[in-house]
Amino acid sequence: DIEYIYFLFTLQCNLVNRTGNECFLLFCKFLIFLHLPPTAGDQKCKSGPVDLVFIIDGSRSVRPHEFETMRKFMIDIIHELDVGLDATRVGVVQYSSQVQNVFSLKDFTTHQQMVKAINEIIPLAQGTMTGLAIRYAMNVAFSTVEGARTNVPHVAVIVTDGRPQDRVAEVAAAARESGIEIYAVGVARADMTSLRAMASPPFEDHVFLVETSIHTEFFGFAEIDLCIESDHGCDHICESSPGSYQCLCLPGYTLNDDGKTCTGTLPTKRILVHSFLQNCCNNATTTFLRSCHSISMLVRTLTRLLQRLNFVFVQPFRGELTGVF
C-alpha cells in the first residue's frame, strides 16, 4: 500500500545517510512511482472517464532537456491511465508562435499509439503564445468534433516555462468558465505570476514548479538509475550505485542467499510526513532549500490531480504536513 511504499523510500534515505538533495530525489521518486506502469500480474488502477489534454510549450525558450522532461512526464502519466473511448481520453497540443494538434481526444485508444505520437513530437522552437494555445484548447481540443464528451470532467495540464508573449489571464478565465480545470506546471525558470494567471483556483492545488535539474536526474538524463530502469527483483529496497545496484532489507528482515528476497517480520510503523520532510531539509544545501520548501505544494497538487482522474489507490494528505497516510 501507499504507506508501505513511503516507508521504503524513507528508510532507503535514512539507511545510507543521504544528503537533503538525495532525500528530495527519493521523495520525487516516491511521487512519480504513482505514475509508473504496473508490473506483470498487478491490477491496473482504473481512472476516468476524463477528457485530459496536455498543452505543452515547444517554444525556443524551452531548452532541449526541459522538453524531454515534459515528454517523459506525459508518457508516465498516460501509462497509468485506463484509456479508451469509454474511459479516459487523452489529447496533446504543442504550442509556440502557432498551435499544433499532436493528437485529438478521439484519435487514439491505446497507450502504444499515444506514446509513439508523443515520442515523435519535434519542438516548434518559435515564440511563446500561451494564450493562443489555451484558446485553441477551449474552442477546438475540448470540442465534441475533436472527441470531447459533455458528461465527463475536462482537465487541461499546461506544461511551460511560464513566460508567455501574449495575454493569458482573460482567455484562461474564459476556459475555466467553460468548465475546463487547468493545472499549470512550470519547468526551470517559470514565471509564477503567469502560472497563476493560467491555473484554476486554489493556486496551491493547481500550480507547481518542477526543478528541471532534479527532474532530469530522476528521469535518467544525468545517469541511469538501475533501480528504476531495470527489473532488479529486490524484495524491499533497491540501492543504486554507478552502473550497479544492491538489494537491502527492512529492519527485522534478513537478506536471503539469492541477494534479492528477505525473510522476517515487518515491524509496525506509521511514517509522519512532516518528520521525513524535516529530515530532508535539515541537511539540504542552499540550492535545494527552495525545492524542499515547495514539497508540500508539489505533494498536494499531484495527489489532487491523480484523485481528479479517479485513481483509487491515492490517499489524500491530512493537514499541513502534520498528518499520516
Residue 91 contacts residue 147 (beta carbons within 8 Å): yes
Tell me whether residue 110 is exposed, middle or buried, using C-beta atoms within 10 angstroms of its C-beta: 0 to 12, 13 to 18, 19 or more. exposed
Q: Residue 264: what pLDDT?
A: 73
Question: 68-79 as b/e, with b when 16 or more CB fall inside 10 Å?
Answer: bbbbbbbbbbbb
**pLDDT tens, residue by residue, 205-251:** 788 776 543 333 333 333 445 565 556 778 777 776 655 678 887 66
Q: Residue 198: what pLDDT?
A: 93
Q: Which comes out higher in pLDDT, residue 136 or 257?
A: 136
Instruction: Indicate whether 180 pLDDT > 50.
Output: yes
**pLDDT tens, residue by residue, 36-54:** 444 444 444 455 588 999 9
Q: Which comes out higher in pLDDT, residue 77 or 217?
A: 77
Alpha-carbon span 12 to 245, nearest angstrom: 13
Per-residue confidence band for 285, with pLDDT thresholds at 50, 70 and 90: very low
Look up residue 306 and give its three cell numbers.
491523480
Q: What is the mean pLDDT of residues 170-188?
A: 91
The residue to which cell 498528518 is assigned:
323
Q: Residue 117: what pLDDT?
A: 96
The residue to which cell 493528437 is assigned:
103
Q: How many domains does the chain have?
A: 1
Q: What is the mean pLDDT of residues 269-287?
A: 40
Alpha-carbon span 198 to 206, nearest angstrom: 9
Q: Which of 21, 40, 99, 20 is nearest to 233 (CA)?
A: 40
In 96-176, the DSSP E strands lie at: 99-103, 154-160
Alpha-carbon span 38 to 191, nearest angstrom: 35
Is the bond leading into 153 cis (omega within 30 degrees of zero)? no
Residue 214 contacts residue 298 (beta carbons within 8 Å): no
Of the listed ranges 158-162, 204-208, 311-315, the least confidently predicted one is 311-315
In a domain, 71, yes or no: yes
Instruction: Indicate whether 196 pLDDT > 50.
Output: yes
In a domain, 299, yes or no: no
Per-residue confidence band for 296, with pLDDT thresholds at 50, 70 and 90: very low
Q: What is the mean pLDDT of residues 162-186?
A: 92
Q: Residue 226: what pLDDT?
A: 59
In a domain, 152, yes or no: yes
**pLDDT tens, residue by residue, 78-106:** 887 889 999 999 999 999 999 999 999 99
Instruction: Indicate whether 123 pLDDT > 90.
Output: yes
Look up residue 231 and give its three cell numbers.
527489473
Backbone angles phi, psi at 296, to 5 degrees: -60, -40
In a domain, 308, yes or no: no
Q: What is the mean pLDDT of residues 256-279?
A: 56
Report the CATH number at residue 132: 3.40.50.410
Q: What is the mean pLDDT of residues 195-209?
A: 84
Alpha-carbon span 153 to 226, nearest angstrom: 38
Instruction: Indicate whether 112 pLDDT > 60.
Output: yes
Out of 6-10, 127-131, 258-262, the most confident range is 127-131
What residue numbers bound the domain in which 135 lies? 51-218
How wide is the angle at C-alpha 188 spanned by C-alphas 183 and 193, nearest 5°? 55
Mean pLDDT of the chain: 70
Instruction: Indicate whether 201 pLDDT > 80.
Output: yes
Alpha-carbon span 73 to 95, nearest angstrom: 17
Look up residue 262 and give its three cell numbers.
528477505
Query: H or E element: which one contains 67?
Result: helix 64-80
Instruction: Indicate whether 263 pLDDT > 70.
Output: yes
In a domain, 129, yes or no: yes
For 246-283, give the DSSP string: EEE--TTEEE-TTSS-EEE-PPP---BHHHHHHHHHHT
**pLDDT tens, residue by residue, 10-38:** 444 444 444 444 554 444 444 444 444 44
In a domain, 18, yes or no: no
In a domain, 162, yes or no: yes
**pLDDT tens, residue by residue, 132-151:** 999 999 999 999 999 999 99
In a domain, 55, yes or no: yes
Tell me whether residue 140 is exposed, middle or buried, using C-beta atoms within 10 angstroms of its C-beta: 0 to 12, 13 to 18, 19 or more. middle
Q: Which of 129, 50, 64 is nearest to 93 (CA)?
A: 129
Taking the CA atoms of the chain, what radius of gyration do you get in angstroms? 20
Q: Which comes out higher in pLDDT, residue 55 or 222?
A: 55
Entry pTM: 0.56
Instruction: Indicate whether 195 pLDDT > 50.
Output: yes
